[in-house]
Structure 1
């Protein structure tokens, strides 16, 4: 939070790209049977639709040459990478 605008501003700027869904900037309206009826932005400047972006060639992706933690030994010398986070409601 040490920068002007803090976390909320970073999330807002990411959401404006159209490729990042930030749940706090949307209201979900449900149908009587519990299904999602529609998802509506609750903040000006947030897009109605979020688009999927796919990296086709990870070798060409501009990954950091000097990571924040260059060498870190993890438990059992394994590495954990989160590649997908889905909806908790199915």
Structure 2
């Protein structure tokens, strides 16, 4: 019983600042995840995904705006009147 008591005492060490889980939920290692639970809150996941989606959408809009501003930055040059007339059309 002397060794068993020591082993149980070692298992009962607590992580700093964390409350102990109920006996049924406790694993063999008391400090398996000292940074917190591994699973994230579903609302955080949705919030992160919507933020990422919004950022990507804005980046795509900026890209399209750049392309259009380049396309319409300078108007097409107006051709000189003499260049458009065809000599064959004048002859007929």
Q: TM-score, normalised by structure 1?
A: 0.19
Q: Which has the higher helix share?
A: 2
Q: TM-score, normalised by structure 2?
A: 0.19
Q: Which has the higher strand share?
A: 1
